[in-house]
Chain A
Amino acid sequence: MAFSERVRISYQNEVGAIRTAGLFKEERYIHSPQAAGIEVEFPVGSPPRKCINICANNYLGLSSHPDVIAAAHAGLDNRGYGMSSVRFICGTQDIHRELEKRLTEFLGTEDTLLFPSCMDANAGFFEACLTDQDVMIADRLVHASIVDGMRLCKAMQDTFKHSDMGHLQAKLLEHHDKRMRIVITDGVFSMDGDTARLDEMVALAEEHDAMVFLDDSHATGFIGKTGRGTHERRGVFGKIDVITTTLGKALGGASGGCVSGRRELVEMCRQRARPYLFSNSVPPVIVAGALKVLELIGSTTERRDKLEWNAQYWRGLLKDAGFDVKEGDTPIVPVMLYDAKLAQDFARELFDEGIYAVGFFFPVVPKGQARIRTQLSAAHEKHHLDTAIEAFRKVGNKHHILGIGRKELMAMCVA
């Protein structure tokens, strides 16, 4: 037996160390569809209880929308359950290409290629499009999947300080001798909820003959006046060379992602990106649902407008209650607690009050920057937020942290 007692104990010790470090992740079982109000079994074995969900990426509230569900049902009936193939063998249906065309129009690019997830799109893009003569220059807070994708690529890796355009410029100058330069950023940074300075980035890239890569997963569908993304908000729609994004958040929340951008780059991915080449096509049921999502959000901005209102209202409630809220204007609203243990206790006590929110701490965020990340949805009604703030206020009062100011709050921080 290869999995000997020695091997088993070694892994048990490793898991034990994760637990001791307070980094053990536990799943909570949801007994209802994804929505603003859900039923959650936690701890495992306890009866499911109703709570308000304030930590989903269900930004537009389309995860369980009846029209999306109906379209997905029709897709299942008309095109089947699975493709039993990768795209380039016998896994491409008419609706896959149709969705790629719709995404291209929506994102303002030249072409699009679907991937099983945005994680896969990020993992595949760099290796497919860059060589050891090139350089990738990434914002230091980009998503982990981009970091993984860069690690798989032979091009030189470099980083610039988060949103620091002076530092980016210095890096572009430093790497002027490279064959290709690509500037890499998230559109909306998932932990802080701030947006990339894409307009300045595009100007710098033009000046230094560099491409711009944007992961807009936390923006597609709702950032910008018509929800096209961060490039729309920053006035550089049509000027981004590569956009990766997901169908797993605002666009129905199922799964799937894409690389969308310059025709030649997309074609390189079709020819060379390994996660595209070696994994199955996005299932027809998801493609059909996503097409309906794009139809819904293409016809009205009602949902993104409501989301924007919800986010502003929620920020106001938190600030009025005396919480330290990270500045921003996206539906990601981090409530700063700084201390890791406090963040964990706070999230648990919120759950006891019927609010499902999650604490984040090192290594997901820097040490001493622990927080509760709240995420708004167009599915939230005002009463959800009014109920949630009462719970936040109650738990905040218990820990004596309301209105005490950032310095004092940070001074309470142990870890």
Chain B
Amino acid sequence: MNEIGKVVRDYVIREYVPEGEEREINETTPLISSGLVDSFSMVSLLRFLEKKYAIHIPDADATPEAFDTIERIEALVERFQKATVGSV
């Protein structure tokens, strides 16, 4: 898990895991399809990523599939980080 993954994992635990519940989350743990993060609450994760990494993820790319694991989120963030650098 890279640095982005660790940041995302900490956020997911803080934001979505109910108080007092212990749950192990690794790079491939399903987040959306498991019901841990419902698609509606996914909005706060999207906002967190955009703010933290100063990127903009268009709605078309912010799909439940793209947010389903930390691995995929890492890839998504990296993709848009590059896009942002490229556009400057």
Q: Do A and B come from one complex?
A: yes
| B contact residues vs A (CB 8 Å cutoff) | 15-16, 18-19, 34-36, 38, 40-41, 43-44, 47
11 other A-B residue contacts (CB within 8 Å) besides A157-B43, A366-B35: A140-B38, A147-B40, A150-B40, A157-B40, A158-B44, A159-B40, A159-B41, A159-B43, A161-B15, A161-B16, A164-B19
Binary B-proximity of A352-368 (CB < 8 A = 1, otherwise 0): 00000000001100110
- What mask results when residues 157 to 201 of chain A are scored 1 for a CB within 8 Å of chain B, else 0? 111011010000000000000000000000000000000000000
Report which of B19, B34, B41, B47 forms a contact with A140, defined as CB distance below 8 A.
B41
Residues of A within 8 A of B (CB): 140, 147, 150, 157-159, 161-162, 164, 362-363, 366-367
With A and B bound together, what is the CA distance between A147 and B41 in angstroms? 10
Q: How far is the CB of B19 from chain A (nearest CB, A)?
A: 6
The verdict on A159 contacting B44 (CB below 8 Å), with A140-B38, A367-B35 known, is yes
B35 contact set on A, CB distance < 8 A: 362-363, 366-367
Q: Which A residues lie within 8 Å of B18 (CB)?
A: 161-162, 164
Bound-state Cα–Cα, A366 to B18, Å: 12
| Measured CA separation A410–B43 after assembly (Å) | 30
- Known contacts A362-B35, A363-B35, A366-B35, A161 near B40 by CB under 8 Å: no
Q: Bound complex: CA of A150 vs CA of B16, how far in Å?
A: 20
Inter-chain CA distance A147–B35, complex, in Å, is 16
Q: Which residues of A contact B36 (CB under 8 A)?
A: 366
- How far is A159 from B35 in the complex, measured between Cα atoms in Å? 15
Could you say which residues of chain B place their CB within 8 Å of the CB of A161?
A: 15-16, 18-19
Question: Which residues of chain A have C-beta atoms less than 8 A from B38's C-beta?
Answer: 140
- Closest A residue to B43 by beta carbon equals A157
Complex CA distance for A157 and B46, rounded to whole angstroms: 11
Closest Cβ of chain A to B33, distance in Å, is 9
| 3 A-B pairs with least C-beta separation | A366-B35, A159-B41, A367-B35
Please give, as numbers and ranges, the residues of chain B lying within 8 Å of A159 by CB-CB distance: 40-41, 43-44
Residue of B nearest to A141 (CB): B38
**What residue of chain A has the Cβ atom nearest to residue B42's Cβ?**
A159
Q: Are B43 and A367 in contact (CB under 8 A)?
A: no
A-B contact pairs, 11 of them (CB 8 A): A140-B38, A140-B40, A140-B41, A158-B44, A158-B47, A159-B43, A161-B18, A362-B35, A366-B36, A367-B34, A367-B35
Which residues of chain A are within 8 angstroms of B44 by Cβ–Cβ distance? 158-159
Closest to B33 in A: A367
- Which residue of A is nearest B39, CB measured? A147
Given contacts A363-B35, A366-B35, A367-B35, contact A158 B43 (CB under 8 A): yes
A157 contacts which chain B residues (CB < 8 A)?
40, 43
Using Cβ atoms and an 8 Å threshold, which residues of chain B touch A140?
A: 38, 40-41
A164 neighbours in B (Cβ, 8 Å)? 18-19
Looking at the assembled complex, report how far the CB atom of A176 sits from the nearest CB atom of chain B, in whole angstroms. 16
| Cα distance A309–B16 in the bound complex, in angstroms | 36
CA gap between A243 and B3 in the complex, in Å = 45
CA distance A157 to B16 in the complex (A): 16
| Distance to closest chain A CB from B64 (angstroms) | 11
Q: How far is the CA of A367 from the CA of B15 in the complex (A)?
A: 18
User: Which chain B residue has the least Cβ–Cβ distance from A367?
Assistant: B35
Residues on the A chain within 8 Å of B16, using CB: 161
* Shortest distance between the CB of A171 and any CB in chain B (Å): 9
Q: How far apart sit A164 and B18, CA to CA, in the bound complex (Å)?
A: 9
* Chain B residue nearest to A140 in the complex (CB): B41
**Nearest CB in chain B: distance from A32 CB, A:** 37
User: How far is it, in angstroms, between the C-alpha of A46 and the C-alpha of B71 when the chains are bound?
Assistant: 51
From residue B29, how far is it (CB to closest CB) to chain A in Å?
12
Residue on A with the closest CB to B30? A367
A158 to B40, CA, bound (A): 9
CB-based nearest B residue for A366: B35
Question: Which residues from chain B contact A363 at a C-beta distance below 8 Å?
Answer: 35
In the assembly, what is the distance between CA of A150 and CA of B41, in Å? 12
Q: Which residues of A contact B34 (CB under 8 A)?
A: 367
The interface residues of chain A lying within 8 Å CB-to-CB of B41 are 140, 159
A366 to B40, CA, bound (A): 14
**Residues of chain A lying within 8 A (CB to CB) of residue B15:** 161
Q: How far is the CB of A173 from chain B (nearest CB, A)?
A: 14
A186 to chain B, nearest CB (A): 14
User: Distance (Å) between the CB of A413 and the closest chain B CB?
Assistant: 13
Query: Roughly how many angstroms separate A363 CA and B37 CA in the complex, as a whole number?
Result: 12
Residue of A with least CB distance to B37 = A140
- Residue on B nearest A150 in the bound complex, by CB: B40
Q: Chain B's nearest CB lies how many Å from the CB of A270?
A: 28
Q: A6 vs B75: C-alpha distance in the bound complex, in angstroms?
A: 35
Nearest opposing residue in chain B for A162, CB measure: B18
- The answer for the CA separation of A149 and B24 in the assembled complex, in Å, is 34
